[in-house]
Amino acid sequence: MFFREAISKNSKSPVLQLVENIRTEKGPRQRLIVSLGTYLKIPKEKRREVARIVKERLFGQQSLFEYDSQLIAYADKIVKKIQTEGKWDSVREQVCKFKKATKDKSTAEIFIDGRD
């Protein structure tokens, strides 16, 4: 995931967008996750870290590092906007799609959280 600035017809200032790279049958593409408009001003030098925090939160991962509280505040706003707009396929949905795609093939499920 990364941030990019796009020019809007309605706004004179650039619009900040969170984008991810995906692979398709036609080759690699960029998919817009959320458009943040012009109201959220994230410094350019901090955008990579904020994108990393957002990705960790969306995938349900815990960070190994401590982040600045301002970066976490940016990430929380972005994650909240993504969740309210419903534009993110959760990990569970991605696993379900994978199961359907590989139904005829030999696969095994591994649960790493449970201890039996």
**Where exactly are the structural domains of the chain?**
2-101
Q: How far is CA 60 from CA 24, 54, 68, 76, 86, in A?
A: 24, 10, 19, 13, 16
For the segment 30-48, what is each residue's pLDDT rounded down to a tens digit?
888 888 888 788 999 999 9
Sorted by sequence, the CB contacts under 8 Å of residue 8 that are 6+ apart come out as: 14, 15, 38
Would you state the pLDDT for residue 23?
A: 86
Residue 23: both structure tokens together: 């692979």
Would you state the pLDDT for residue 38?
A: 81
Would you state the pLDDT for residue 102?
A: 59
Positions in the chain short of pLDDT 50: 116
